[in-house]
A and B are shown apart, each in its own frame.
Chain A
Amino acid sequence: MKFSISSLELTNYRQYIGTQEIDFTIDGSKNVAVICGRNGAGKSNLLNALTWCLYGVEVHGLRHAEKLKGMPIINSTVIDSLGNSQSAHAEVKVHLKTDMGPWTIMRKMEGGKNERGEVWEGETELTVIWPFEDQDKVVIGDGTQALINTLLPEALRGFFFIDGEQLHNFFRVSSSAEISQAIDYVSQLELVKKALEHFTSLEKVLHKQVTKTTPRIRELQHKIDYIESDIENRHEEIEKKEREILDAEGDLITVKDFLKNNSVENVSSLERERQLLETDIHKDKQPRLRSLESERNAYLVDIAPFIYLKKPIESTYSLINEKVEKGELPSDIKETFVLELIERGRCICGNDLSSEARATLEEFANASLSDLSEVAISGKTTINYILSQIEEFASTIDKKSIQIDALRSEILKKQLRVEEISKKIKGCNIDEVKFYEDRRDQLVTIKARSIQTKEGLTSQVALAQVKKQQYEKELAKELRKEEENRALSEKLKLVTDSENVLRETIDITKTRIRKQVEKNTTANFQKLIRKKEAFKDVVIDEEYAVSVIHAYGYNALNDLSAGEYLVLGLSFMSALVSISGFQAPVIIDTPLGKLDAEHKDHITSMLPEFLSGTQLVLLVTPDEIDNQKVKENLTQFLIPSNFYAIIENEPCTEAEVTQAKTCPEAEVKHSG
């Protein structure tokens, strides 16, 4: 269901005192709204108001989390003005325009001071008013969150309500595990996984309902229970390892960034070189090596039987030749040719067929010799081909091996250079550098070990699943033997079959979605990027590592500018959004921070068009749009009534959102 925000109403929420309403005029072609405010004025809290209302969480502007921690949601001036045992409330109301008609979602929180003057805040209450059978249906409490999930599930909010800073850094600091998780969220595989978990629990429940049991049924149930708990334990181990990998990857990014950006010139350039080498080894050379090796193995598997059977093949070949020479096997007479001769009644030399010749030919055709000859002829051709393959084996395998050896030696050379760089960095006499380099070594080892253990556990789980399926089949067979258990057996079969289908679905779907996200990200990146000729592809490999392939073929991810990182982040998010199928407004906090003028110009001219048909709300600082071209670009997509300014008082405890024509730099109200 498509929706857009028609208005946002805040009452005593954070710094927004009293009731304030921000109306958005919705127009198909002019899809942009701008809310401008200085840093700390309350832009992030507008995004928080939205997520608090819809999902009960405040996650934006986390860099100011400490500031928010312990601060009541209800405006502090309102709380301060209360006497003992008095209360007030904070409320956020969001009016939506949907395909079904208007919706209103409101979240309210009571709070105040107790008789001792201590501040308290109660639970929140969520109300949804939505059109149902031509009437407005009011739902309070239970069931409201499910309704909101039909508009936009909470797990996906991060792809629509975006923190520009996080977007900018997404590919700079995100590990492949986080990228994989983002794809998991958007693919709603979480739901599929939950359904699978519940199928497994249901299976256990059904097992307990066996009315008539036998020793064999009990034994099988016991075995299945044991395998299930074993699988469960291993899953927990896998999750633990995944977290370790994620943590190691996150820490590695910090360590690498430190080494790359530190002021010791030599260390910084060595680290840059090492990162390029590692990217080349892991993202290019090793996958190529694996592909060449598997190609060579496949070739060996194909050719091996012929090499082993070379002698019998050769003797068969000479036997056929011998028979052909003796005339026992016609080498080049096909059945159709014989039949054609008989039908025409004329020999190829032009003479009519004599009755004797006709009889011989008919005998020839009827004797099924043709069958044998066809086989012999085609067999001869195949044998010829096989023999030529055997002949070429030595040179083909040499050629493949040379390619593999060359690549291996190239990788080894690069690995040696990486080791050399590591030694040089370790040799640096600055303690901090040494510390980070040692930490890097530890993290690389932890990550490699965790990956190895995780892979081992994953294979063990797969084997256990196969074993479990065998026992389940046997159990179903045993249950069917007893009349009383038949209905149960049918239910169990439905559940276990569904489990198997879901398990397979998860693996296949994730791969297909990864490829689809990769395709969409590349297309979006090509549309949004300024230097179109510089990059040819965005790749998300099987390990969920992202590469941006430069026109010259190398991975340029580490060399992107700030603007290019933002474009990549936007391209990825948009790819996820389009795949998710949810059509919600996109709200970006500080979208243009840290960008140079050229990228600001490019993004403001491209983004509204790129998200055409989607409501786009930009929460900006005055500096972000203090550029003539940016203003002109936005004006094309902005209805003047959708331009707002946040005006805050001097201690920044209160803020007001008003329709404006310009940004509020000079409009700060001075309370004094």
Chain B
Amino acid sequence: MTNDAEINQIIMEVIDQHCADDRVKRFIHEALRHELNIWNRSVSSRTILESYELLVDKIVKE
């Protein structure tokens, strides 16, 4: 996601307005950043899911 983009503000505003849970917000933010990193790359579903699992583990443990 781009920094300071109008679109990001809109997406983040919507997430903020519809989500009171900080952990959910963090998970979504991290997931979107990860999606941008792998955009247009051939990354296997298994690798993607492994990264997501690690992310969930990290957030739940903190």
Contacts and interface: CB of A to CB of B under 8 A. Distances in A.
A502 B28 contact: yes
A505 B14 contact: yes
Interface residues of B, number: 38
A498 B28 contact: yes
B7 A513 contact: yes
A186 B11 CA distance: 12
Contacts of A149: 36-37, 39-40
Given A487-B60, A579-B7, A581-B5, A501 B19 contact: yes
A624 to B, nearest CB: 32
Contact of A516 (B10, B21, B45, B48): B10
Contact of A198 (B4, B21, B49, B57): B49
Contact of A580 (B5, B18, B27, B31): B5
Interface in B21-62: 21, 23-24, 27-28, 31-32, 34-41, 45, 48-49, 52-53, 56-57, 59-60
Given A202-B56, A505-B15, A581-B2, A145 B41 contact: yes
A512 B6 contact: no
Contacts of A143: 41
A580 to B, nearest CB: 6
A495 B52 CA distance: 10
Contacts of A497: 19, 21, 24
A626 interface: no
Contacts of A578: 6
A637 interface: no
B56 A491 contact: yes
Contact of A501 (B15, B35, B37, B53): B15
Contact of A498 (B4, B24, B39): B24
Q: What's the dominant secondary structure at chain A's contact region?
A: helix
Interface stretch (A66-74, A188-196, A242-250): A188-196
Interface of B: 1-8, 10-11, 14-15, 18-19, 21, 23-24, 27-28, 31-32, 34-41, 45, 48-49, 52-53, 56-57, 59-60
Given A1-B2, A186-B7, 6 more contacts: A188-B1, A497-B21, A501-B24, A501-B28, A509-B11, A579-B7
Interface of A: 1, 55, 142-143, 145-146, 149-150, 153-155, 186-188, 190-192, 194-195, 198-199, 201-202, 205, 487, 490-491, 494-495, 497-498, 501-502, 504-505, 508-509, 512-513, 516, 578-582
17 contacts: A146-B36, A146-B38, A146-B40, A153-B40, A187-B11, A191-B35, A192-B11, A195-B34, A202-B49, A202-B56, A205-B53, A497-B19, A497-B21, A504-B18, A508-B14, A512-B14, A581-B3
